[in-house]
Structure 1
Amino acid sequence: MTDRPHPGAPAAPARPVLVTLLLVSMLTVMAGATISPALPAMRRHFADVDDITFLVRLVLTVPALAIAVGAPVAGLLVDRAGRKPVLVGSVVLYGLAGGSGLVLGDVYAILAGRVLLGLAVAGVMTAATALVADLYSGPERSRVLGLQAGAMGMGGVVFLSVGGLLAGLDWRGPFAVYLAALPLAALVALVVKEPARAEPPVRRAGTTGGRALPGAALAIFALAFVGQAVFYTVPTQLPFHLADLAGVGAVGSGLILASMSAVQATVSANYGRIARGRREAALAAVVFAVLGAGAALIGFAPGVPVVLAGLALIGTGVGLLVPHLNTWLVARTPAEVRGRTLSGITAAMFLGQFLSPVAAQPLAGEGLDTVYLAAAAVALAVSVTVALAWRRPAREEAAPEGAGAPRERNATGRTGA
């Protein structure tokens, strides 16, 4: 089956459909980080709870574990039940579960609400990306996936800025941001039309890209995992690092984190142009080099200005990472298993987010600058590994049109017309 929009899909989806999908995508990647500016105040509020420093970081990252666990189920539902029903239900759950922190008074109950939030994000991210992949193809798909990743970054700008301002009033304030999902659910129900399918979305004896799981997909999943683990040292550790380094409070932390998301959004929105004509592996190596350089700057930073420079580099790296890996993967996935394959990269990304503070915990006692220097070393090692591993062009990885416009392939792995 050729990797094209389903028969019956509009050649050019109406602008309201695209805008709605972009708005929904704003809810995803930085969903957990919305409450990041409130973490120090939350720690003070629950100071009598054992291991509260670790627990409040889990409040931030446990949605990522729930996403990693729930993404495969979400992918199966997206392929079998359809994209739109999963998307609508997931957006409703997102608003209710995310907003539950406004009224819950126990840190463990808040953690339970965050688990439900993660399950909701798994459905939102998988269904929205599958719809984008269904409705667009070729260079236009790369452009729209870049816009989608830009919307995710812009969600960080909006939610982290508002979350920081609300955290300055009360640590519960950022939880109110999640309620914005409820009117979006109604918009999805009214505006989005799922493309007709050429055949029922059932599990076929077939495969993804001609094999049960192509080696390229496993490599892409691994890159997504490591990239997000490095990136998530920012929302989980930076508010504490800024407080120690320069006495920056919740409002300042929120605005500083939002500046990184602004860079991310800008870079992602221009991904189609940046990636055009570049080999996929080569661009991936550059992305990890940029992430490593940004983390190193934060680790060596004597003050806030150098931290901001490091965040600009990390925002640039993540702004390229998400659309690049999605484009790389989608171009090699037939439509009938697209939800399941996208759920794999979603699981890998958010498992990296969840394990980021767990991996950093033993190093945190040496100082948070050590955490960032270790993250830099990992990212730079991955950059070198990717560059060396793909020095010789492989048939499966070759994309003559460039990463921004990968050659469409059919289910057998042969180039489609």
Structure 2
Amino acid sequence: MSSAATFATPGGTEIPAARRLTLLCLAALTVMSGATVAPSLLALAAHFAQHPNSALLSRLVLSLPALTIALCAPFAGVISDRYGRRRPLLLAVGLYALAGTSALLQHSLEGILVSRILLGVAVAGTMTSVTALAGDYFTPAQRQVYMGQQGAFISLGGVICLILGGLLAELHWRGPFAIYAVALLLVPAVLLHLPEPQRSHSDKSLRKAPLYNGFWLGFAALLSAAMLNSLAFFLIPTQLPFLLRDIGINSPSLTGIAIATGNLMGALASLMLFPRVCSTFGKFGNFAFSFAAMAVGMSLISIADSYSAIIIAMAVYGSGMGTLIPHIFSTGLQSATEHMRGRVSGALTASIFIGQFLSPFWSQPWIDSFGITSAFSTIGLGLFLLSGVSITVHCLKTKTSTETILR
């Protein structure tokens, strides 16, 4: 096999339902990396309370995989472009199950953190391969529909994992780690339904495939949007349990339901709002709408004084998140030439998860100094600013297009 390979997209062909479902289930594994154990965070922190820096390290149980994903995803993208999608995907799914469940047997916080690092390696390979395969299998029109479905599936997977994780955490704080074994059920599906895309062994096509003018500037802006979104999003699983505790809610299952509410609304938004927002407002209008909805949700969380208020705030936040995530990936893949899909997928994956990793490092010192509600209100203000920037760019592009037509 040549070390350089491009992947042909079957124009206009209908995608088998089993193939689509397998891709969607694999995509849902990514949200499990953090959401599954979020409800047991308080109990885990209490178990290791005597450990030095337990407050920060217990939060790293959620966010440490994100650092590994961010570091490994670009390399996974290069491997995917050069050597194929399916074999790296199979290895990643197997490692996912092994690393995720190994925390059941760990008796030290350090051991759990090591298992989370390995889980991050697995998620990097899985998410990069799945996103690149979506680019290979689907036409642009099919891809936009699929990305909305993927966003919904990821959000629904988060709902199931959070609720099930909360119930298992009621039994024991280690319980949610058992959920990662479900990845093994997807190995036969990958073998049966995800064939390696056709490839032409042309180094020349790799070197000379054109990128449109302004690709790198636009792609850098897209990566920044993905990272800032994740920086905001990860405030919820890492800090919302502690905010709920402050207002008198200590149940892991209720914590799981609260976080899952945002995911459920995200799923509905991905399926129902995303296509309409894209067609009505366009690319930058979608960004403006998404960031504004998320900003309102964060602001409502910061002033919530009851469980019902938290639920409402999470629903509002989820509606913005559900229209943003599929838009980011759809825009990125639409911009990529065939030979770049793995690397574009890896870069998007890295930007999303570096934001998740960095989230506790800014939020925890901020919370220590100004309080937990201040962190949510501050990130809400930042999201409002991003929405304003998106509206400005949208208006400028609309004005430019109008002037061009008039000429």
Same fold (TM over 0.5): yes
In structure 1, the partner of 2:146 is 144
Could you tell me which amino acid in structure 1 is paired with residue 137 of structure 2?
Answer: L
Q: Is the 8 A contact 2:32 2:180 kept in 1?
A: no
What is the rounded CA distance, in whole Å, between the counterparts of 1:241 and 1:22 in structure 2? 32
**Cα–Cα, structure 1 residues 202 and 255, in superposed 2: closer, same or farther, change >3 Å?**
farther
Higher helix content, 1 or 2: 2
Could you tell me which amino acid in structure 2 is paired with residue 367 of structure 1?
Answer: G
Q: 1:231 offset after TM fit, Å?
A: 1.1
Do residues 331 (structure 1) and 334 (structure 2) align? Answer: yes
What secondary structure sits across from 2:121 in the alignment?
helix
Could you tell me which amino acid in structure 2 is paired with residue 307 of structure 1?
Answer: I
In structure 2, the partner of 1:381 is 385
What secondary structure sits across from 2:37 in the alignment?
helix
Q: 1:375 offset after TM fit, Å?
A: 0.9
Q: 1:210 offset after TM fit, Å?
A: 4.2
In structure 2, the partner of 1:267 is 269
Q: 1:273 offset after TM fit, Å?
A: 3.9
Q: How does 1:377-416 map to 2 (within 5 A)?
A: 377-393=381-397
What is the rounded CA distance, in whole Å, between the counterparts of 2:27 and 2:33 in structure 1? 10
In structure 2, the partner of 1:38 is 40
Over residues 124-178 of structure 1, what are the superposed CA-to-partner deviations in whole Å (9 max), with x where a residue is unaligned?
A: 1111111112111132210001101111111101111111110111010010011
What secondary structure sits across from 1:204 in the alignment?
helix
In structure 2, the partner of 1:409 is none
The count of corresponding residues between Structure 1 and Structure 2 is: 395
Q: Which moved more, 1:209-218 or 1:256-265?
A: 209-218
Q: 1:40 offset after TM fit, Å?
A: 0.7
Q: 1:198 offset after TM fit, Å?
A: 3.4
Over residues 212-237 of structure 1, what are the superposed CA-to-partner deviations in whole Å (9 max), with x where a residue is unaligned?
A: 96211000000001111111111010
Q: Is the 8 A contact 1:79 1:202 kept in 2?
A: no
What is the rounded CA distance, in whole Å, between the counterparts of 1:384 and 1:224 in structure 2? 16
Do residues 279 (structure 1) and 279 (structure 2) align? Answer: no
Do residues 296 (structure 1) and 299 (structure 2) align? Answer: yes
Q: Is the 8 A contact 2:96 2:123 kept in 1?
A: yes
Q: 1:383 offset after TM fit, Å?
A: 1.0
**Cα–Cα, structure 1 residues 202 and 257, in superposed 2: closer, same or farther, change >3 Å?**
farther
Structure 1 unaligned segments of length 5 or more: list them.
Answer: 399-417
Equivalent of 2:357 in 354, 357, 360: 354
Q: Is the 8 A contact 1:10 1:195 kept in 2?
A: no
In structure 2, the partner of 1:319 is 322
What is the rounded CA distance, in whole Å, between the counterparts of 2:122 and 2:43 in structure 1? 26
What is the rounded CA distance, in whole Å, between the counterparts of 2:205 and 2:365 in structure 1? 43
Q: 1:244 offset after TM fit, Å?
A: 1.1
What secondary structure sits across from 1:28 in the alignment?
helix
In structure 1, the partner of 2:257 is 255
Could you tell me which amino acid in structure 2 is paired with residue 111 of structure 1?
Answer: L
Structure 2 unaligned segments of length 5 or more: list them.
Answer: 1-5, 403-407
Do residues 369 (structure 1) and 373 (structure 2) align? Answer: yes
Equivalent of 1:239 in 238, 241, 255: 241
Q: 1:302 offset after TM fit, Å?
A: 1.5
What is the rounded CA distance, in whole Å, between the counterparts of 1:214 and 1:110 in structure 2? 38
Q: 1:109 offset after TM fit, Å?
A: 1.1
Q: 1:202 offset after TM fit, Å?
A: 8.8
**Cα–Cα, structure 1 residues 59 and 67, in superposed 2: closer, same or farther, change >3 Å?**
same
Q: 1:201 offset after TM fit, Å?
A: 7.7
In structure 2, the partner of 1:401 is none
Q: How does 1:104-115 map to 2 (within 5 A)?
A: 104-115=106-117
RMSD: 2.3
Q: 1:47 offset after TM fit, Å?
A: 1.2
Give the fraction of aligned pairs with identical amino acids, expressed as a percent: 34
**If the length of structure 2 is used for normalisation, what is the TM-score?**
0.92
**Cα–Cα, structure 1 residues 203 and 73, in superposed 2: closer, same or farther, change >3 Å?**
farther
Could you tell me which amino acid in structure 2 is paired with residue 286 of structure 1?
Answer: F
